A and B are shown apart, each in its own frame.
Chain A
Amino acid sequence: MPGSIRGCAMSRSDPRRRALLAALVLGALVLLALFGPAASPYSYRALDWRHLTAPPGFVAEHWLGTDALGRDLYVRTLSGLRLSLLIGLLATLVSVLIGVAWGAAAGWVGGRLDAGLMRVVDVLYALPYLFIVLILAALFGRGNIAVLLLAIGAVGWLTLARVVRAQTLSLKRQAFMEAARAGGLSGLQMLRRHVLPNLAGTVVVYATLMVPQMIVYESFLSFLGLGVEPPRASLGSLINAGARQMLSAPWLLLVPATVLVVLLLAFNILGDALRDVLDPRQR
């Protein structure tokens, strides 16, 4: 965890403990995102004209202070966290579905199809993702969460497609696949019973590492004003608003930034640790 360098260096030796720790932090964040806002008397859009830009702890019920419109920062940060988690998970789901289908098809069928599918991935790989997401979001999705999801999810699948293809190719050459074929299984049955379950570990690792990336994309779009629309808040739009007032009210920047950083770190540590446990060859 940040802050204690020695603690992190020592826990590096045991990925299971790191995974557990990160999972606990993530669990706590999810619970906070789900139930935290309900603990405060305010809603994310309620204006409190008596307490504008109140620092944390200044007013009893505004635990983390308020913004320039008197909206409660605690509630806004947690509902932003909820939105970031939701978009991160759903966009990852979109990416995983495309990536696994694409990579498994290329690796399993092989030949022309493989060459064609992978050529597409190579071409897309050479382009800057964020750039494409930006254009798509600005053109189609201002404030439209569904479009935002598709735009973010549709560009994250490339690495996964490559990894899944490579795994599928090596699985195809295993002896148990021959046994399965000799046992009379059709191609589709083999794919479902032997290939896909064997891909699960790798996919879980990459998906875990993809969630923080998706959250960053969403936050960045919201930061630019292309993501969620006010009064709704996302961690990115809160950071943007906070950065504009950081001299007079630094907490408006520091609170959402801290939450975002802890969230991203927890996902990254969990993903790295899962990779060490599930897929030791990668290291």
Chain B
Amino acid sequence: MLGYALRRIAGIVPVLLILLTVSFFVIRLAPGGPFASARALSARTRAELRARYGLDRPLPVQYAAYLRALAHGDLGRSYSLRDEPVAALIGAGLPVSAELGAAALVLGVLSGIALGIGAVLRRGGLIDRALAPLAAVTLALPSFVTGPLLALVFGLWLRWLPVAGWQPDTPRDLVLPAITLALPLAASIARLTRAGLLETLSASYIRTARARGLGRARVLWHHALRPALVPVVSYLGPAATYLVTGSLVVETVFELPGTGRYLVMGAIDRDYTLVMGMVLVYGTLTLLANLGADLLHAWLDPRVRHEPE
């Protein structure tokens, strides 16, 4: 298990390096550049600005300098946001994004598993029959549609929850965004739980347990649930990728002060260091989340970690 984990962790570094390298050059290949538009600057001011941020040097030199600074934990300074250090900008927004992601993850996983179990407990009951069509609808709805619709119904018409915005330490502000982000997750997980449970329940060891006189609920809880959740766990990898990108969407819809807005803003303003910082943070998050899901999977299912490479 430890060997497997170390191999996987080591695998992240080259992927991240490739991602950073490609992004570094692609951003600079794009037409336009920092300080090109915005305000009318004199040629001299622009040259001075470019020299100050090292943009007048050849690309390979800039690249080496960026990597060297990065190795010392320095993400550089933003060109467009008053010379703020990128690390500080991201550090200020990340707690909001993380809170949103964590809330959605917990909500999605718990309600998904609960719905899946509910469907199996009463075969042909209301939950069982409603699950498939509801999941199909939920999965077809993109967050930028569900978000405004939820805000319209619960924020404006019913006035139960705030429509948008975010103040520190007010969990109410996170309810609608977290639900929006969690919906597709809950739908997928409910489907997977239901299918997994149905498959495990037809196994012979379950029949044996029932024959020994154990109750239905007990068999479900103690014998069937754990193996049935393996597909759910392997879905957590894609789910993590979804959460990272989905939070970008939801932060925009609900105007949350997370890190998501910096990506689009930075790319439009050609704020190279800001975009690179976002690529680094979101790339690392996605890779780590995928890794975590894989490790959990390997822990639950020994066949995974012994697979020959």
Contacts and interface: CB of A to CB of B under 8 A. Distances in A.
Interface stretch (B103-111, B223-231, B283-291, B296-304): B283-291
Nearest to A261: B141
B140 A135 contact: no
A159 to B, nearest CB: 11
A128 B282 contact: yes
Which of A127, A142, A223, A272 gathers the greatest number of chain B CB atoms within 10 Å?
A127
B132 A239 contact: no
Nearest to B15: A123
A251 B137 CA distance: 21
Contacts of B15: 123, 126
B77 to A, nearest CB: 20
A99 interface: no
Contact of B264 (A6, A138, A261): A138
Contact of B145 (A126, A140, A226, A260): A260
A219 to B, nearest CB: 7
Contacts of B144: 219-220, 223, 236, 239-240
Given A123-B18, A135-B23, A268-B139, A2 B148 contact: no
Contacts of B279: 131, 135
B267 A139 contact: yes
A140 B27 CA distance: 9
Contact of B148 (A123, A126, A239): A239
A261 B133 contact: no
B267 A134 contact: yes
Given A138-B267, A239-B145, A269 B136 contact: yes
B132 A12 contact: yes
B90 interface: no
Which of A2, A226, A246, A260 gathers the greatest number of chain B CB atoms within 10 Å?
A246
A246 B151 contact: yes
A239 B146 CA distance: 11
B97 to A, nearest CB: 13
B142 interface: yes
Contacts of A230: none
A243 B148 contact: yes
Interface string B120-134: 000000000110111
Which of B130, B132, B148, B275 gathers the greatest number of chain A CB atoms within 10 Å?
B148
B146 to A, nearest CB: 9
Contact of B31 (A12, A128, A140, A246): A140
A131 B262 CA distance: 12
B219 interface: no
A2 B139 CA distance: 12
B287 A126 contact: yes
Nearest to A11: B133
A265 B252 CA distance: 24
B9 interface: no
A220 B148 contact: no
A136 B139 CA distance: 26
Contact of A246 (B26, B148, B248): B148
Interface of A: 2, 5-6, 8-9, 12, 123, 126-131, 134-136, 138-140, 142, 212, 216, 219-220, 223-224, 226, 236, 239-240, 242-243, 246-247, 250, 253, 257, 260-261, 264-265, 268-269, 272
6 contacts: A127-B19, A140-B30, A223-B252, A239-B148, A264-B142, A268-B140
Given A134-B248, A135-B263, A139-B267, 14 more contacts: A9-B129, A126-B15, A131-B244, A131-B263, A138-B268, A140-B31, A220-B249, A223-B252, A236-B144, A239-B148, A240-B144, A257-B149, A268-B139, A269-B136
8 tightest Cβ-Cβ pairs between the two chains A and B: A138-B267, A139-B30, A243-B148, A130-B245, A8-B133, A264-B140, A128-B245, A216-B142
